[in-house]
Amino acid sequence: MKPKFFSKISDHRQSMTPRPLRGAFLISPALLVVADSVMIGWSIVRVDRAFKACLILLIILIFYTTAPADPIGLSSLFPKEHDYVVRSETIRIVTAYNAGDPRQTDDTPCIAANGEDICKALAKGKKRCAANFVPLGSHLHVEKVGVCLVTDRTNKRYRHRVDIAMQKNEYHRARQFGRQKLTVKVIDITNVSYQNAANR
């Protein structure tokens, strides 16, 4: 049988502990421990509601200012606006082709116009494209595609077009991509680490 003193504390704890707040503190296991301690303290000592609210905000503020914004480095995989400078922006016809397929290229299907083995580059996950309106080695930011390095040329008839290089076994993916009108930006990459990753 519980002593009356502890029974009163238990009843008071149930009435004073706001359940939604306990659920909110589940955002972090570490904060949950702190939250439980605070809740127990509230159940014993009557604290003004305004003070409770300030304490909650302080704990959340500490959590969000000390926790790493990108703990596994995902941001490095995607270029941000401050990673490059836009030189021009136009709407262009964008298509796709399969590098390594002699029916879609010349007699050296894996060798790009700049001498690169484009098949090996694509196999490593690099984005390559063909275009005639910029120098080889330029970077284009293509809507729905991302940033690609221009290493190849298109047919002279398509001087304003961008052709996205895909692997030889991605024939159906290239067909599905089709012919689209997309925003194409000619960019200068300012983030050295991202530029090295794009050019590798």
102/27: higher pLDDT: 102
Assess contact for 131 and 141: CB atoms under 8 A.
no
193/159: higher pLDDT: 159
The model's pTM is 0.56
Structural domain count of the chain: 2
Task: Examine the domain organization and report whether 60 and 82 are in the same domain.
Answer: no
Report how far residue 168's alpha carbon sits from residue 26's, in angstroms, rounded to the nearest whole number. Answer: 48
Residue 154: closest CA among 137, 132, 179: 132
Task: Examine the domain organization and report whether 127 and 32 are in the same domain.
Answer: no
Identify residue 85 by its one-letter amino acid code: V
pLDDT at 84: 85
φ/ψ region of 174 (left if φ > 0, alpha if ψ in -120 to 50, else beta) reads alpha
Q: Which of 66, 82, 110 is the last residue of a domain?
A: 66
Of 5-9, 27-31, 190-194, give the lowest mean pLDDT range. 5-9
Q: Calculate what percentage of the chain has a pLDDT beyond 70.
A: 61
Task: Examine the domain organization and report whether 45 and 82 are in the same domain.
Answer: no
Task: Examine the domain organization and report whether 89 and 60 are in the same domain.
Answer: no
Task: Examine the domain organization and report whether 35 and 88 are in the same domain.
Answer: no
Task: Examine the domain organization and report whether 87 and 47 are in the same domain.
Answer: no
* In the predicted structure, residue 10 carries a pLDDT above the cut 50: no
Task: Examine the domain organization and report whether 29 and 109 are in the same domain.
Answer: no
Task: Examine the domain organization and report whether 18 and 104 are in the same domain.
Answer: no
Task: Examine the domain organization and report whether 84 and 49 are in the same domain.
Answer: no
Q: Which of 32, 66, 100 is the last residue of a domain?
A: 66
Of 18-27, 103-112, 121-130, give the lowest mean pLDDT range. 18-27
With bands split at pLDDT 50, 70 and 90, how would you rate the model's confidence at 83? confident
For residue 27, give the DSSP letter.
G
Q: 43 lies in which domain range?
A: 4-66
* DSSP H or E segment with residue 131: strand 128-131
CA 185 vs. chain centroid, Å, equals: 19
Q: Which of 66, 87, 110 is the last residue of a domain?
A: 66
Provide mean pLDDT across the span 164-177: 94
pLDDT at 26: 45
Task: Examine the domain organization and report whether 86 and 41 are in the same domain.
Answer: no
